[in-house]
DNA sequence: CACGCATTGTTACAGTATAACATAACACAA
DNA sequence: TTGTGTTATGTTATACTGTAACAATGCGTG
């Protein structure tokens, strides 16, 4: 396996250990698949890759459980725009995961994860206040066309 | 039927006529259900309501086709956050439908549709440029907790 | 009317996600 | 260590969401 993947996994392990979360084997295997893919995968694409890599069938329920944990731990994000899951691009650099913004290419599916611009965040909060809403915002998804697809 | 719904439907009809789009009976019936609901519905919730209102079973395919048309015509929006559809809150007031922003309550599902703040839009465009991405952005979805659910 | 095109009908199926209950692994205290 | 409660995993079944493919119908235009 690529050294970079090893580092990401090790960092993820540390993050979980430090927060009392259990990054079990199944969860780590699912995370590994997403990190290696480096582009979003559907739950059933993960299922198929798992079956190939481990030469062992795995049930959807198991995948969804692992994903639920990983999303909760901010190691993986669920993209609603295309209904896929992606390994966090910032697992290595950010101890405290803030609000993310995803530029999602509607043609090739490539994704760039960045921080939500503070100016944008402030404007969103203000607008929400006009409706007396409190922003929860796990993240922001922006549809775009990437440089390779133009 | 409520007078306001009548007006919304009439406006929708005018918009379609003016753009060479055919707002057929089935499409209008689906739009009507969404307008009356005033909160997001899943495709199969629409199916059930249709069956009740018209005392007639309707196939999913038919619903999805109507929704595809209505979304294309900007009379209905698809919310990716909760995988539901909502009648456009601005069908009456806006001839040219710009970028929308939705404040979606993660507790009760209530939705507020507004315009995307120009400042936010400009920042998004600039950030996208850093990745040489071109923003497509049909809309922005922001998870929040509404005033009634706090 | 005849033709082309858009819409709708119909069947079958693919893809996504969760409920419910059983079993196994683990943490921790007696 | 052994019991005990908790968390994780296994297993089966089922609900929910969405589309492919082809047939039939309607509609506007020459
Ligand atoms: Zn992240
Ligand atoms: Zn692309
Ligand atoms: Zn709208
Ligand atoms: Zn609410």
User: Do A38 and A85 touch, CB atoms closer than 8 A?
Assistant: no
Summarised one tens digit per residue, pLDDT across range B36-65 is 998 999 999 999 999 999 999 999 999 999
Residue entry with tokens 């009740």:
B52
Based on the structure, what is the number of domains in chain B?
A: 2
The CATH number of residue A131's host domain is 3.30.1490.190
In this predicted structure, the answer to whether residue B3 has a pLDDT above a threshold of 90 is no
- Tell me which protein residue sits closest to nucleotide C26, measuring alpha carbon to C1': A22
Residues B12 and B73 in one domain: yes
Bridge partner list, A131:
none
Is residue A65's beta carbon less than 7 angstroms from any atom in nucleic acid strand D? yes
pLDDT of residue A92: 66
Residues B67 and B120 in one domain: no
Q: What are phi and psi of B23, to 5 degrees?
A: -85, 85
Residues A77 and A102 in one domain: no
Residues B105 and B146 in one domain: yes
pTM of the predicted structure, to 2 decimals: 0.93
Per-residue tens of pLDDT for chain A, all 150 residues: 578 888 889 999 999 998 999 999 999 999 999 999 989 999 999 999 999 999 999 999 999 999 999 999 999 999 999 999 999 988 766 566 789 999 999 999 999 999 999 999 999 999 999 999 999 978 999 999 999 998
Q: Record the tokens describing residue B150, joined without a space.
A: 């706090």
Residues with CB under 5 A from ligand 1 (ion): A 88, 90, 100
- In which domain, by residue range, is A40 found? 1-90
Q: Record the tokens describing residue B40, joined without a space.
A: 């997001």
Q: Quote the CA–CA distance of A125 and B103 in Å, as a whole number.
A: 11
In this predicted structure, the answer to whether residue B1 has a pLDDT above a threshold of 90 is no
Residues B4 and B72 in one domain: yes
- How distant, in Å, are the alpha carbons of A75, A97, A124 from that of A27? 10, 19, 34
In this predicted structure, the answer to whether residue B34 has a pLDDT above a threshold of 60 is yes
**Chain B residues with at least one Cβ partner in A under 8 Å:** 80-81, 83, 101, 103, 105-106, 112, 114, 117, 119-120, 123-124, 127-128, 131-138, 140-147, 150
Residues B111 and B61 in one domain: no
The residue from B40, B63, B90 where one domain ends is: B90
What is the number of alpha carbons within 13 Å of residue A64 lying toward its C-beta? 4
């Amino acid at each position: 396996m690529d050294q970079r993947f090893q580092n990401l996994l090790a960092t993820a392990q540390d993050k979980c250990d430090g927060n009392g979360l259990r990054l079990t084997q199944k969860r780590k295997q699912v995370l590994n698949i997403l990190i290696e893919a480096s582009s979003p995968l559907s739950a059933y694409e993960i299922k198929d890759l798992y079956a190939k890599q481990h030469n062992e069938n795995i049930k959807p329920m198991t995948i969804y459980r692992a994903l639920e944990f990983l999303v909760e731990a901010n190691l993986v994000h669920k993209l609603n725009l295309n209904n896929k899951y992606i390994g966090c691009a910032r697992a290595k650099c950010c101890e405290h995961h803030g609000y993310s913004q995803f530029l999602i290419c509607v043609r090739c599916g490539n994704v760039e994860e960045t921080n939500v611009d503070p100016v944008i965040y402030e404007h969103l909060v203000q607008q929400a206040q006009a409706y007396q809403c409190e922003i929860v915002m796990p993240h922001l998804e922006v549809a775009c066309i990437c440089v390779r697809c133009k």
